[in-house]
Structure formats: structure tokens, C-alpha cells
Chains A and B, each alone.
Chain A
Amino acid sequence: MARAGRAPWLTLQRREAIEAWLFVSPTLIGFLIFFLGPLIAVVFYSVSEWNLLSGEQVFVGMANYHDALRENPDFWHVIRNSVIFAIGLVPLNMALALTLALALSRPFRGVVFFRTVFFAPVVTSAVAWAIVWKFLLQGEGGTVNALLGYVGIDGPNWLREPDWAMAAVIVTRVIKMVGLNMILYIAALQAIPRDYEEAARLEGASGWQIFRMVTWPLLAPATLIIMVITTIGSFKVFDHIYLMTGGGPENGTLVLAYYIYEQAFEFFNVGYASALAMIMFVIVLALTIVQLILRQKGAA
């Protein structure tokens, strides 16, 4: 006999809600401790003057931001470097990734081998990668210059001259990371039905016309996402610079993420570094928002 009257507190709906919260709680707690917590701390540090060595901490308002944006010429030099790095890296990376993807999106004998070859650097240790390239790019006796020598080119001392160093870190970074975008483009290409290409071929379109009039427009959403994540990634580049040039020569490869590291952990200007980190956060956030807006426009 079921008793009518008082409904039990633990209804099915409540029970399922509790279960749901239990399932998301590990992630939620992790997010609060390891993301939101530090973020709030950085906001707090960025308005303080805090010397790690003495342990003193004073509130200074927007002084650190003012320093970066108005006083310190280093900051704009660093921003300029980061922009050059992005402008050099993003188009090169994407053009190469798309070319590889077009060549490797269809099955043929050995396709897995080639995909693996181009993807392997992505999962290779950044340290090993940088050390090997440092060695290859030596001015005297470096393999790159030796090869250039065969075709009569007298290569520069790559990592010792500011402009060449920038070019070298961009190219070596592209070679390391291009496999990731290649995979993204391969996935996007494979999602395009074969019928489109066949219909176009029957109507007399050349390979280039098919690419320009069918494939490329259909890749637009993928291109957009790849562009934004690659740009964001290029703004956040740290390990590669740290290992290959240490921001040198003559600060020629001093990019934002590395500059933040330098200020915080070499010069112990935690307040200033935090302000820089906030600026970087805003840049990345802006790029992300742009991406979301463009994606929604694309979906409409």
C-alpha cells in the first residue's frame, strides 16, 4: 500500500540534479582552484608592487599598466615582435598545412607514413626539437649553412642576428607545429562530400577551379578556426623562444610570453609581469571573441 500525502524530499528530479552536480564537481573544483584562482590572483598582483625577494606588497593602482603601455619602450618593442612573429608564422603555417592536407587527405599507398612524418614533430619534445635546430642552424659548420653552401649561398649566423633569428624561430616553429593544422585541414577536407568534386569535374572544372570555387569556400569555417587558434598559439609562444634564443639577440626575438617570464622570474617584477599577463589575457580573449562572432556569422 502506497501512502498518499507527503511527497518525499528526494524526488527523481532532485536525485538526478544531485548526481549531475557530483559528476561535474571534479572539473568544477579543478577549474576554480587552477584557473579562476590564479586569474583573480594575477588581477590582484597586477595592481600591486610586489618584490618577491623582500616580500613587500603595496597597492599601486594602474601604475603597472601605465608603465607597460606608456612608459616602458620595451613593451611596444615586445608587442611588435609578437605581431611580427604572428604575421610570419600564421600564413606560412596555414598555407603549408593546407598544401599538405590537400596532398594527404585522400588515401594512397603510403599516405599514413607521410601523415605521420608531418605530424611527428608536433608530439616531439620541444626541448629536443630546439636543441637539434640550434645545432643545425649554427653559423659555422651548421648543417643548414652547409647545405646552402652547396647551392652557392653563404648563409648567415642564423641565431645571432636579430632579423635572421626571428625568421629562424618562425620557420622552425612552423615545421614543428604545421602537422596539427594539417590534421585539422585533413579532417575538414574529408568532411566535404566527394560528389561536389565529381559534379564539378563533370561540368568541366579544372583542379584549380574546383579548389577555388568549391573546396576553398567550403573550408572557410575550418580556415577561420585554424587561423584564430594558430594566432592565439603564436601569441602564447614561450618554450620555443626560451630554448632557441632566450629572446635574443638584442631582444630581436623577445616576444610577449617570454617577456612576462623574464620580468617575473628573472627580474622579480611580479606586479609588472602580472599586468603584462593581464594584457595578454585580454588580447587572447579578444581573439577568441572575434572567432566566436565570426563563427556565428558563418553558421547563420
Chain B
Amino acid sequence: MQSLCKFYEMGDQVVKALDSIDLDFGLNDYAAIMGPSGSGKSTLMNIIGCLDTPTSGIYELNGQQVAEMDDDELARIRNREIGFVFQTFNLLPRLNCLRNVELPLIYAGVSPEEREARAREALQRVGLGDRITHKPAELSGGQIQRVAIARALINKPSIILADEPTGNLDTATSHEIMKIFGELSEAGNTIILITHEEDIARYTRRIIRLRDGKIESDKPQ
């Protein structure tokens, strides 16, 4: 992405949430975006995740220009190329694990038999093969987040995006989750996660620091 900007107009004031951001992510990148609260981390992630479009600038994903896409094209990209993991998990509470995990495949038009098989497989990968009929309320925070990771994985996305995935978890569980991300990275997935905890960021191979909508530093580790 090049000179990416996102402005919010608040009355007569313009908030520069992102100000001329230039970034590149390669295949199998494993990066952490860090920075103080309000520095633009979530805004950046929403744009990378095609939930939002930039005010100006270029964003190219796998050779496709995202900035000019309409809502439905963005939805298609999110479905095929992006896997989200949220701080607040964002599972549908009335559906069991299997149904939650297979949801992206419904929108991709995959047949019920294949959906179920792939959802089982994804749950197995995050170590929840024996919990498939449980509803989110019957699981612990760590288990819920693992279901969310399984959902993010299911459609073999180009990028897995995680906005403070450990923000609502205790330290031990956080490290368990980070171990899963590590395994996924080793398996070849591209992962970008947001965190403000240094010891979470330490799991990644690249740290990008934001301040006031600008890149402060971008270092491999």
C-alpha cells in the first residue's frame, strides 16, 4: 500500500487516523502492529481487511485494487482472502462451533457435506475436535478464540488479521493462542496481528510501530 490515508471529519475538525502510510506485506509474513491507543492500528487493520476503504492512497491485494471496489466486491475479497480474529471473538452465540466455523463457506457457496468436513478439520487443527457441538457460551475464552481462529482459517485466506486477539485473555491462555499463530505461520500463512503487549509481539518476525497515524518504525526481529 502506498501513501494510504484515512481521515475522519468530526464537525469542522479532521482526524487523521492514518496519514500517508506506505507498507508491504509479503507471503508468509508474520507481523505485529503496535502503538498507543488511538494511533490508528484498528483503522489500518480494517483497511487491510477490506472492511473499510481508504480516503486516499493505493491498496493492492494480490494484484487487485481494493480502493475502487464496491461493497459486494469487498465482501467477496473478505470471504476469499481475509480471515479475521477479533479481540471480542465475535462468534454467533446461537450457533455451535461447527456452524460458526463453516459460516464463511456458506457465503462462498460450498456444499453442506464439504463445509462440515472442512469445519471439522479446522477445529481439529486448533485442538477443539471434541467440542464441535458446543455453543460459545459453554467454552472458555481461550477455546472461543480458538474457534474464531478456526473460522478465520477455514477458507484458506491470503492474510489472517487479528486485532488484539489476546486482549481479553489471561497470560497463560494468551501464550497458548500465540503458539497456534506460530504453527499457522510455520504452515505458510500470512499473519498480521495488533497488540500493545511487547511479549506478544515478540512471537512475530516483524514489528511495525504506529504513532498518530504515521509509521514510527518497521523492523524485523
Chains A and B are bound partners = no
